[in-house]
Structure 1
């Protein structure tokens, strides 16, 4: 082999290596039938061998919400009629924890019946691709979108979500349901101000404007609200976390902790218990 041939081969090898680096990675094969949970990143799913969530019994102050969400997920897992869900309201009150905990409780009785698929925040546009893959499976899947919100000027995102929920060309398959957590006001479509008369007044009356703002939320068959804790409920939540750890606390200090964080919530209660456990030299 002369020098010119060797040089040509080296050039071809470099070109081939460069093209290989530019090519998108091959899709990862996902076993959708065996794992309790998955995280969808927009092109592939990462398999999780467990769902990290508190025991359902430890979620206090939201008994009515627990009952409704657990019943709906259980019905879905057992192939009965079930709703898409919107869990909305106060921060720190256990919306996302409830989705995870209730799913894990249902899986305790039927591990292979249901899988939880959390969609990464930057992967919402690829949900139709996820639907396409899951539609080929015989298993049921709860598609979990946590802390959903749209920018004020975003009209495409809400419309696509409505399409997924109600029979558009990209609608979710029958073996999938959506479970969305959000401050509901963050995902309402505000179109009333976009429709105005020449005088600048909205042609919609107050009732019409309210109905219009609920256009997206109404697409969910089950909407569950979460509200700030009363003092009694907050102390009950603290006690539910503290008693199994044999931790003692004063109600005054627990309430002061919540006040400093601007909320009485399950999250604040847990953070307070972590603090007093640390002071007592205990592990959690």
Structure 2
């Protein structure tokens, strides 16, 4: 069995040393493609043909699963890097970063550049030679889009370090660079890979609250003190869709959304502190907000809305939706009566509950859709869906749908259009 030539073994050892000598960007190897790449180099260097075939197959599959090339994968890991250099870069200009940190970043970029230019065909040829295959294994190779940053076009990547610093500051790092939407779950932030793609131009009616919320969000993005907002109104009026659409509109400008469930509201102060120093803008999104009596989440949200000894960060706002104008449930039995002497300031306690929604800087009301509003939404969605029906026919079917299903609302209109579009498409298919 013939092995690899000594010159090839020397080349493999060189690449292994390059990969393992990273000081800051070692996390690029913590992904499945990165791990498989290192294992493949190790198997080639050890001239282990069985391990080599398995490692090559693992590397091929790890790249094929997300459908990305080796070069694209490596660049994306650099742009999303979560390490001391990327952290410092978000707060400090390159000229003021610690010299050893800058030197380490240049060192790593030079080594990553050599691995970026590593030809996949060479790996396949080495595998063929070592394993005595009649032909090289299939090469996973895709058309390469032009790199987004100019530094990746330079002869020496380290010469473009200032551009990389600017990228980290504008787009964030780690999860914040990889995802536009996140959720807080079990004490940590998790990325949402497939966020709702709803757009602002898909929304109709409710022009006033929509424009006010857009304006407040633009204040946040511009670095001004934006207000916390309560979106109050009837079910299905599009409150949650509006917040999600803001994210899709403004995420290129540094907006991120963090979804917080009611059960996790007690963690709000912790979440805010985690986001305080990140140079992006955040909406903490709480959907369908309401409280029971003596709810600990009530107290946690109150601290975030009103502040405490810790200054409120300017890059975080709370947007909450609710079907209740008064967020804390109130019972007639709770109303103070003259004969009740258990609490001296009982009316003060009741008023604190009733006025909790006033602690939001803005309360935007979404009234129940009347018939003209409902039909306006239906026509808007029908136009976007490319449905071509006479207005009278569309209105008749839409009103029948609302009567037979969930009443007039934006949600009902969307469900009607989805059903109608599928029904029309299926009818056309049946006629072919």
> What TM-score, normalized to structure 2?
0.52
Contact 2:263 2:297 in 1 (8 A): no
Cα distance change, pair 105–225 in 1 and its aligned pair in 2 (3 A): same
CA shift at 1:75, angstroms?
A: 0.8
Structure 1 unmatched ranges of 5 or more: 1-28
* Structure having the larger proportion of residues in strand: 1
* 2-structure distance, mates of 1:171, 1:160: 15
Q: CA deviation at 1:92?
A: 0.4
For residues 67 and 274 of structure 1, do their structure 2 counterparts lie closer, same or farther at Cα, with a shift above 3 Å needed? same
Change in Cα spacing, 1:39 to 1:155, as seen in structure 2 (3 Å) is closer
Matched, 1:187 2:322: no
Does 2:313 align with 1:173? yes
Q: State how 1:244-259 maps to structure 2 within 5 Å.
A: 244-247=384-387, 248=389, 249-259=393-403
Pairing 1:59–2:203 present: yes
Structure of greater relative contact order (alpha carbons < 8 Å, 6+ residues apart): 1
Aligned counterpart, 1:88: 232
TM-score normalised over the length of structure 1: 0.77
Asked if 2 retains the 8 angstrom alpha-carbon contact of 1:32 and 1:137, the reply is: no
Matches for 1:225-244 after TM superposition, within 5 Å: 225-244=365-384
Answer yes or no: is 1:31 the counterpart of 2:171. no
The 5-angstrom pairing of residues 1-284 of structure 1 reads 31=174, 33-34=176-177, 35-48=179-192, 51-108=195-252, 110=253, 113-151=254-292, 153-168=293-308, 173-185=313-325, 187-188=327-328, 190=330, 194=334, 196-197=336-337, 199-200=339-340, 212-247=352-387, 248=389, 249-281=393-425
* Cα deviation code 1:41-67 (max 9, x no counterpart): 132212235642322122111111110
Q: Check the 8 A contact 1:93/1:265 in 2, yes or no.
A: yes
Larger gyration radius, structure 1 or structure 2:
2
Over 3 Å counting, the alpha-carbon distance change for 1:265 and 1:199 in structure 2 is same
- Residues 171 and 180 (structure 1), Cα distance of their counterparts in 2 relative to 1, 3 Å cut: farther
Alpha-carbon displacement from aligned partner over 1:161-189 (angstroms, at most 9, x marks no partner): 21211113577533211010111346136
Deviates more, 1:270-279 or 1:255-264: 255-264
- Number of residue pairs aligned between Structure 1 and Structure 2: 250
Structure 2: tracts of 5 or more residues without a match: 1-81, 83-172
Any idea what SS the aligned residue of 2:425 has? coil
2: CA distance, partners of 1:211 / 1:43: 33
The Cα of 1:210 is off from its aligned counterpart by 8.5
